Structure 1
Amino acid sequence: MVRILFVVNGFAVGGGELKLLELISQLKQRYPQKYRIVVASVGQGGPLEENFRKVADRTEIYIKRHAYDVMQIFGLIRLIREEKIQLIQTTLFYADILGTMAGVLTGVRNIISWEVYTEQYSLKQKWAYRLASKGLSSIIAVSDATRRKMIHQYHLPEAKVRTIHYGIDVKKFQSRNPREIRKELGIPQNTIVFGTIARLTEQKGHRYLIQAIPTLIRHFPRVLFLFIGDGPLRASLIQLAQDLEVLPYIQFLGFRSDVDALLSAMDVFVLPSLYEGFPNAVLEAMACGKPVVATGVDGTPEAVLHGKTGLL
């Protein structure tokens, strides 16, 4: 049995966390006797904590109490030794640093970093990642854009970084009838429904979408926007929508588990992100046959063909 430790920043609802959850679920379903899966959060709990506990053999949380909490490393070291871990995969920056350090200190020979974002790191973060990367055996980038960033910004050997794009189970997103979910949401007939699925953070660019709504409704008054996801900007985005007098045109739905049904209710999927590794939500929208309007940043053009499957 191969004993794998997955280290992640936390259990928030984000693309990286959801894809990791899906990966672990598939490993356990397809090879129940082949892998022992251990998951460690080095930052926080979150809405996905119980989901991880259901699919992993063991799940631990090492709370981040301050910026440089060495107790987290000691916790990981103890976990690695107890479980006799053979392979470590880290996801997201803080997990990359701590997971790699703990792996090196315990002599784990196979340490893989899964790079899902393309945000700009500070000089201190770049230095920390470059140092930690020396202990990595391989780096998996979710897009060619992410791979280029890793190579150029951190001066990593090209042979050490490879691209593996996200995949999705398209069967989950087919043959859905939108009438029921539209009725549940109270959407009038003949309404053009735009939707986005993303955390309510600066990265995802919701404010720019809200700022564009007044122009859109002057030409197309029968429109509605579904904002699926939650986050720290919820209150400020609602206030912005009120200030621009477009709140009646938006439904803030928060975190939802019925994403496939909500996608079926949309006519157009929108993703106004400022940066993206490889947007999973776009793939899900395309699996539902929805046209996509998105900012052409980073890995997004690797998913959306401008003028064919959407507009960038």
Structure 2
Amino acid sequence: MNDSGRPKRVLHIVSGMNRGGAETMIMNMYRHTDRRHVQFDFISHREETCDYDPEIISLGGRVFFVPSIGQAGIMAYIKNMKNILIEKGPFSAVHAHTDFQTGFAALAAKLAGVPVRICHSHNTAWKPNPRFLDTIQLHVFRRLILACSTTLCACGEEAGRFLFGKKKMDENGVHLLQNGIDLQRFKEANDCIKTDIKKKFAIQEDSLIIGHVGRFFEQKNHTFLLELAACLKKTGRPFQLVFAGDGPLRQQIEEKARNLGLTSEIMFLGVVEDIPVLMQAFDVFVMPSLFEGLPLVLVEAQASGLHCVISDRITQETDLGLGLVSHISLEAGVERWVEEMNHADDKERPAWSKIQETLTNRGYDAKANLTRLMNIYSISGAEGQ
């Protein structure tokens, strides 16, 4: 606590608190934080209410809107950020999750006198096909990050190398903070009856249920998933492809599904709150992303015992050693993907005890990671709710 008896405050910088991997990771730890000692606040670049905003407010956090660099320009962005840090503080730490833009948040925090300034990498790339000028720009952003931050974090080694450079990783200058999940929720979901879950979400019985959870952005490669569905339909095997999530490309993907004649085979659920339960209805999880960091949803899928068929663009670090992950090249052709999906539900799921032990030992327990996070913030006594 502060000398005033109020909790210390940490400000997270995010694009918006929708149900993405980084955002869910933050919430998984926030829920376990002893909020008598520390509180999380958020700067969001989205003026509209995001998925987690009501819960944040109910937990005592605050959400402040700041236009993004693209909307406001660099100087206005830094000024707006600095004003919030001074007027709404004091803050013990600023934790920026906006990849290459984190350096500007760290600079604003430095100007505002915030002692702990964390830049956190959640991706292994920032564009599907970066140009030479993009690479030069990334190097400039990296120099700003290294100059203004006090601590560097990454969800995995490849994400750390991408944003902070190979030298920093080789020097052990980056904290690897795994995208932890609430293991208790997955344990409870593991005990649910699959037929009951399918009824709850109106998912088909007696079909291969292919699951995908993710925002409708270009990097998630939803078009490839539609190609998989069209190929699988030709085989005559009953199936249902279930999309959970929302985003700017959703309407476009729904229209493509209709044009391909896949309306009865594809279900768009939108935002789903209880992902651990939903995943128990899937037979296989598919993720053909163009690039990722270390996606939390793949940790969740393995915690659910699902076989995961994923692109080779996703880091090998996602394989948690449970025998559940198959990496396949996007250039291998949809037939190769369909073959792997068809056999995924034949494979035996690991026992929950094995899953729990493996995820805990590999650092994916959000509650345990909270202690590490508070040490990074230089705050003690805020863990354990």
Question: How far apart in 2 are the matches of 1:98 and 1:152?
Answer: 18
Aligned to 1:285, which of 296, 301, 307? 301
Deviation at residue 33 of structure 1 after TM alignment: 2.4
Deviation at residue 298 of structure 1 after TM alignment: 3.8
Alignment of 1:112-127 (within 5 A): 112-120=118-126, 122=134, 123-127=136-140
Aligned to 1:50, which of 44, 50, 54? 54
Aligned to 1:77, which of 67, 76, 82? 82
For residue 265 of structure 1, give the secondary structure of its aligned residue in structure 2.
coil
Aligned to 1:11, which of 17, 20, 29? 17
Aligned to 1:103, which of 106, 109, 130? 109
For residue 3 of structure 1, give the secondary structure of its aligned residue in structure 2.
strand
Question: How far apart in 2 are the matches of 1:154 and 1:13?
Answer: 32
Aligned to 2:145, which of 129, 132, 135? 132
Aligned to 2:265, which of 231, 238, 249? 249
Question: How far apart in 1 are the matches of 2:170 and 2:116?
Answer: 17
Query: Which stretch shows the higher mean deviation, 302-311 or 77-86?
Result: 302-311
Query: Which stretch shows the higher mean deviation, 238-247 or 120-129?
Result: 120-129
Deviation at residue 230 of structure 1 after TM alignment: 0.8
Deviation at residue 144 of structure 1 after TM alignment: 1.3
Question: How far apart in 2 are the matches of 1:61 and 1:305?
Answer: 37
| Deviation readout 1:211-238 (Å, 9 max, x if unpaired) | 1222222335211110001111112212
**What TM-score do the two structures reach when normalised by structure 1?**
0.89
Partner of 2:177: 164
Deviation at residue 207 of structure 1 after TM alignment: 0.6
Query: Contact 2:209 / 2:240 at 8 angstroms: preserved in 1?
Result: yes
Is 1:32–2:45 an aligned residue pair? no
Partner of 1:142: 155
Q: Report the structure, 1 or 2, having the larger strand content.
A: 1
Deviation at residue 245 of structure 1 after TM alignment: 1.8
Deviation at residue 297 of structure 1 after TM alignment: 2.3
Question: How far apart in 2 are the matches of 1:23 and 1:125?
Answer: 30
Question: How far apart in 2 are the matches of 1:154 and 1:223?
Answer: 47
Question: How far apart in 2 are the matches of 1:219 and 1:307?
Answer: 30
Alignment of 1:160-309 (within 5 A): 160-173=173-186, 174-299=190-315, 301-304=316-319, 308-309=323-324
Q: What one-letter code is carried by the residue in structure 2 that aligns with 1:266? A: F
Query: Contact 1:117 / 1:146 at 8 angstroms: preserved in 2?
Result: yes
**What TM-score do the two structures reach when normalised by structure 2?**
0.73
Deviation at residue 43 of structure 1 after TM alignment: 4.4
| Deviation readout 1:282-303 (Å, 9 max, x if unpaired) | 111111111111112243x212
Question: How far apart in 2 are the matches of 1:305 and 1:21?
Answer: 22
Higher relative contact order (CA 8 A, sep 6+): 2
Identical-pair percentage: 24
* Consecutive unaligned residues in structure 1, runs of 5 or more: none
Deviation at residue 261 of structure 1 after TM alignment: 2.0
Question: How far apart in 2 are the matches of 1:105 and 1:126?
Answer: 22
Deviation at residue 119 of structure 1 after TM alignment: 1.8
For residue 171 of structure 1, give the secondary structure of its aligned residue in structure 2.
helix
Is 1:66–2:71 an aligned residue pair? yes
For residue 160 of structure 1, give the secondary structure of its aligned residue in structure 2.
coil
Residue 270 to residue 246, structure 1, CA distance change in 2 (3 Å): same
Question: How far apart in 2 are the matches of 1:263 and 1:156?
Answer: 34
Query: Which stretch shows the higher mean deviation, 270-279 or 168-177?
Result: 168-177
* Consecutive unaligned residues in structure 2, runs of 5 or more: 2-7, 128-133, 328-385
Aligned residue pairs, count: 308
Deviation at residue 276 of structure 1 after TM alignment: 1.0
Deviation at residue 68 of structure 1 after TM alignment: 0.3
Residue 280 to residue 172, structure 1, CA distance change in 2 (3 Å): same
Superposition RMSD in Å: 2.4
For residue 241 of structure 1, give the secondary structure of its aligned residue in structure 2.
helix
Query: Contact 1:199 / 1:230 at 8 angstroms: preserved in 2?
Result: yes
